[in-house]
Structures are given as C-alpha cells and as structure tokens.
Amino acid sequence: MSVEQLNILNFRNLANSKLKFHPKLNLIVGENGSGKSSILEAIFYLAHGKSFRTTKAEHIVTHNKKQFVVNIHSSSKVSLGISKDFISKILEIKVNGQRINKLSELAKNIAVQIVTPESFKLFFGGPKERRRFIDLGLFHVKHDFSNKWSKFGKLHKQRNACLRHKVTSAELSYWTDEFCIYSQILATDRADYIDKLQDELVKWLSILLPKLSDKIKIHYTRGWSANRKLVDVCLENNEREKIVGYSISGAHKFDVKFTLNKQPLDLVISRGQQKLFLLALTFAQAKLIEQVKQVKPILLIDDVGAELDIGSRTSLAKAIAALECQVVATAINEIDLDPLIQQSTVDNKDNYKMFHVKHGEISIE
Ligand SMILES: Nc1ncnc2c1ncn2[C@@H]1O[C@H](COP(=O)(O)OP(=O)(O)OP(=O)(O)O)[C@@H](O)[C@H]1O
Ligand SMILES: [Mg+2]
C-alpha cells in the first residue's frame, strides 16, 4: 500500500494539514524551521507510536493545544489513525475507524523507515538502534516473529524478576530453560534474516557506494558466546546475575557490526559515505519487506541535500527509481532535489509531487 492522504492536526508547527501524496515520490521543500521534519515525524509516529526525535509526546503537540491527531488513507482503502490527548492522557489508535489496543496492529498495515542526517550517529552510537532496525525488518519479513519476540520479552522479564527476588533454584531453572529456548528461536530467525540482508545490501551498495559494495560485511552476534549453549552460559553467569538482578546473556543482547576490509565501518568512511551506507542498508531492508508483500514499505529521507554531493544524489535518485516503494524526501533547497526529479521524470513528467512548506503551511507546486 501507499499513503494517498495524510491529515495532521496540532503536530508541532503543523496546525491542520492535509496532503495528497503521489504513490511513488513526494518531495517537500522549505526553509529551516518550516515544518519538513515534522511532516516526516507525523508519518513515523503513526507507524511506530513514537517519534524518531523525542521520547516525550508533550514536545510534539502544538504549544497550548491539548491533543494531536495523525491519520492516513491508503491506496488499499485502509485508514489508520493515532491521537494523543493530554488531558485524558489517552493514546488512541484506530484501524478503519475501529479502536484497537495494540500498537503492533498498526505495524501490520504500515512499514515506515527513516534516514535523517542524525541516523548514522544513532545507528553507530550503541546497539539499541541497530537492534530496533533489525527487528523491524524481521517483524515484517519473518512469519510469526512478533509473537516469538513478545513471548521472549515476557520470559526475559520473568527471569529477571526471579533473579531479583532470589527464588528457589528449581523455579529459576524452569524460567532459564524457557528463556534459553526462546533465545535460540530468535537467534535462528535473526541469523537467517541477516544472511538475506547481506545479499540484498550488496545490490544497493553497488548503486550507492559501488567502490565499496563487495567490501562491506555484516557480522551478527546472537547475544551469547558462539559455540556454546546458552544454558551453560547462564549457569556460569548465575552468581553474578543474582547480584546485578538481570540476565547478562541472551537474545536481548544480540548485535550487528559492520566492517570494511575488517575495520569497523564507522571509523573508516566519510560522513557522506556513512549516509549512503545507511541509505543502502535501509533500501535493502525495504526491498526484503516489499518482497513479502504483506505491506509496502514507505521510506522517509530527511534533508536529502545534507552531506551528499551531486554525484551521490544522482546515485540516490537511481536507487529510489529501482525501489518499488513510496518515498517522501525533504530538502531545504529545491536544487538539491534536481537529480531525483530528473530521474523520476525520464518516462513520465507526472511521476512525482512537490510540496512547499512555509511556517507550517503546506502548498503544492
Ligand atoms: N510543540 C511545538 N509546537 C509548535 N511548534 C513547534 C513545536 N515543536 C517544534 N516546533 C517548531 O516547529 C518548527 C518546525 O520544525 P521542523 O523540525 O519540522 O523544521 P524543518 O523544516 O525540518 O527545519 P530544518 O530545515 O532546520 O530541519 C520549528 O520552528 C520548531 O520551533
Ligand atoms: Mg528538519
């Protein structure tokens, strides 16, 4: 599916905006502080139930307003909505007008990924963002992963509670066994997915970073020592775990590292190359999600001009054209979007839509 219409109410400086999107390419231009990132943030919020730039919803609602609302109508005639009321404190989620309780229901209908100028710092700043990224892919690509993931989450919590409350060794051993079984289930799914991601990544790197495409490798660590059983590792960690009160090893500790000629990638490539790498990785994941055909991924790219020279923007335009997904990209200067416009209008001049934002007001070119 793609987004046909986006409605935004009281979201940052966007008072009441209605955008009719192009199914393929949407370009948003505006000065600093005009509201470009806020439009992307609204789409992201709808898909994830949270923002990519704050953990506090109070920062998002327009100053002096009590509620924000975002909803979309999709090409497949599905409507999705999210609203947060700051008096009742209720976060309301709706699918086709019906209230639902679980955020994960939204994710069954929409898969939104974003690349911003800050993404690389976040992605390489610590494992949290890498874990979130990989599990988002798994959620859409691997059948039943979300159920296995929530089951593991419950077992992880239960085992940590046992460690904190110093329960009998029989009880701890029961939860440890279950925790290990589900850790292994997630580890197998993730290893399999990362193999697929590596293959797909090479294809997108060959467009975006052709000189490095066969030199960049993904290394997956599952959350406990290779060649060892997690049960044995837990046994060994047991005394320490009782002191700290949490599980030291397990599937929650998985990570992915990226290397270029065996060196950590983040230490050896330039800022522009970092952005191109993250775009390639995001495109690879979007392609894997798209192939499953459950949902069509939507790709948000904030500030296309930042860090990318004309050659890189031309490569990005080629990658966008090769990806069969809806893209929403922002730029401060219209000229930064020229390669994207040229590429998308090769066969048809109506192959994109341009929006201009000024002080939170959106107009169409
Ligand atoms: N809760 C809020 N209520 C009202 N306005 C807000 C709120 N939070 C942020 N703003 C304002 O919204 C405006 C739009 O911010 P946004 O980050 O979307 O701009 P932008 O177009 O992406 O700018 P840049 O090119 O600098 O990235 C800013 O001027 C900001 O001060
Ligand atoms: Mg911005």
Domain range list for the chain: 1-110+295-365, 126-289
> Is the separation of the CB atoms in 182 and 126 below 8 Å?
no
Look at 216 and 103; give whichever has higher pLDDT: 216
Q: What is the pLDDT of residue 349?
A: 77
Domains 1-110+295-365 and 126-289 share a fold: no
Of 12, 65, 358, the residue with max ligand 1 atoms within 8 A of its CB, to mutate for a pocket test, comes to 12
> Is the separation of the CB atoms in 233 and 225 below 8 Å?
yes
CATH code, 1-110+295-365 = 3.40.50.300
**CATH classification (class only), 126-289:** mainly alpha
What is the position in ligand 1's atom list of the atom closest to the CA of 65?
Answer: 3
CB-ligand 1 contact for 297 (6 Å cutoff): no
CB-ligand 1 contact for 332 (6 Å cutoff): yes
- pLDDT bin (cut points 50, 70, 90) of residue 82 is very high
CB-ligand 1 contact for 300 (6 Å cutoff): no
| Atom 24 of ligand 1, nearest CA residue | 32
76: pLDDT strictly greater than 90: no
CB-ligand 1 contact for 62 (6 Å cutoff): yes
- Residue 296 has phi, psi (to 5 degrees) of -90, 125
CA dist., res. 110 & res. 52, Å (int): 16
CA dist., res. 76 & res. 110, Å (int): 11
CB-ligand 1 contact for 57 (6 Å cutoff): no
Structure tokens at 227: 């060649």
Q: Among the listed ranges 77-91, 92-106, 145-159, which one has the minimum average pLDDT value?
A: 92-106
Q: What is the pLDDT of residue 104?
A: 81
- pLDDT bin (cut points 50, 70, 90) of residue 219 is very high
Q: What is the pLDDT of residue 350?
A: 79
Provide Rg for the chain, Cα atoms. 22
What is the position in ligand 1's atom list of the atom closest to the CA of 34?
Answer: 21
